[in-house]
Amino acid sequence: MRIFLDANILVTVLNKEYPYFSDAAKVISLASSKRFRLYTSPICLAIAFYFAEKKSGTKMAKKKIVELSENIHIAGCGEKETIMAAADPRILDFEDGLEYFSAVHASCNCIITEDRDDFYFSSIEVINTKDFLRKYVI
């Protein structure tokens, strides 16, 4: 199963933010499982870096991003995804559109986010960490 991780999942894990940290960390730990292939986009990583840097400083934030990037696949987010996100009239938040089309073009089966309403336009499943773990892991 191919899973796309929204920026809020990455930020939660990098900054150990509760109440979602435990479930988000369990989801990211699935990167070592053969059943799952985890993806995110360069934009999600940039957002995660920004918030990790604010909390932990530049050096530690870079270290965290490197570790994360070694375990999660990076979905493309280039010209094609940009044009599609900008042109789609259903998409009001451009950044969410970029993430969505990155997930689609990486053939992801779902997007994991704690802000499911952000992807109201999605044709692929959008699920939070707790529900994902209940449905697919436990």
Work out the number of other CB atoms within 10 angstroms of the CB of residue 126.
22
Higher pLDDT, 138 or 111: 111
The reported pLDDT for the residue numbered 17 is 95
For the stretch 34-53, pLDDT in tens is 999 999 999 999 999 999 99
Question: In this model, does residue 138 exceed pLDDT 90?
Answer: no
- Region 122-127: mean pLDDT is 98
User: Average pLDDT, whole number, for the chain?
Assistant: 97
Domains in the chain (CATH in brackets) are 2-137 (3.40.50.1010)
Question: In this model, does residue 63 exceed pLDDT 90?
Answer: yes
Instruction: Tell me, yes or no, if the pTM score tops 0.75.
Output: yes
Looking at the chain, the number of H-run helices and the number of E-run strands are: 7, 5
CA distance 42 to 64: 14
For the stretch 88-114, pLDDT in tens is 999 999 999 999 999 999 999 999 999
